[in-house]
Amino acid sequence: MVAAAFATATGAPKWVTQFGSAGGDIGYGIQMGTGKLPGVYISGQTTGNLATNANTSVYGGYDAFVVKLSAASGGMVEQHAYGTAGDDVTGKLSRGAGLLYLPGGFGAGFVGQSADGCSFAGLRDIAVAKFCAAVAAP
């Protein structure tokens, strides 16, 4: 389970929310979106299926995820898992030039991506995803 809270400028709680799967869930990063990316973004790892939309599946071992919450209510707006057949890890989300960036490490090759120069090179490979106007489009 991953929990998040948002407070007003005076420190009073505005909302508290939680989400998770039947597996192990760990939140690693949180970032406030701005401009083209409004909302609250959380990155982490899961061994389960967060199952809040059809784009999420369990790829194997640990999978990386990004969740978008409403800044106004804390409600789930969208979430997506990314991964390979191996154990995949994620770092903290970073924000720059109106975009979000997510570093990570992947334990196997992404299916169908070797033609794009994303072939698996070894024990653990490094990857960075850039998120534009929608979490679903890194």
Give the DSSP letter string of 78-136. EEEEE--SS--EE---EEETTEEEEEEEESSPPTT-GGGT----SSSEEEEEEE-SSTT
d(CA 118, CA 95): 24
The residue with greater pLDDT, 40 or 51, is 40
For CA atoms 116, 33, 67, 65, give the dihedral sign.
Answer: positive
pLDDT score recorded for residue 53: 43
How is residue 73 written in tokens? 């209510």
The confidence score (pLDDT) of residue 73 equals 92
DSSP 35: T
Residue pair 18/2 in contact by the 8 Å Cβ criterion: yes
Q: How confident is the model at residue 57 (pLDDT cuts 50, 70, 90)?
A: low
Alpha-carbon gap, residue 124 to 108, rounded angstroms: 7
Has residue 9 got a pLDDT over 80? yes
pLDDT, position 74: 92
* Mean pLDDT score, 84-95: 82
Distance linking the first and last C-alpha atoms of the chain = 24
Looking at residues 78-103, what average pLDDT do you find? 81
Average pLDDT estimate for 32-41: 82
Q: Answer yes or no: is pLDDT of 113 > 80.
A: no
Cβ atoms of 108 and 86 closer than 8 Å: yes
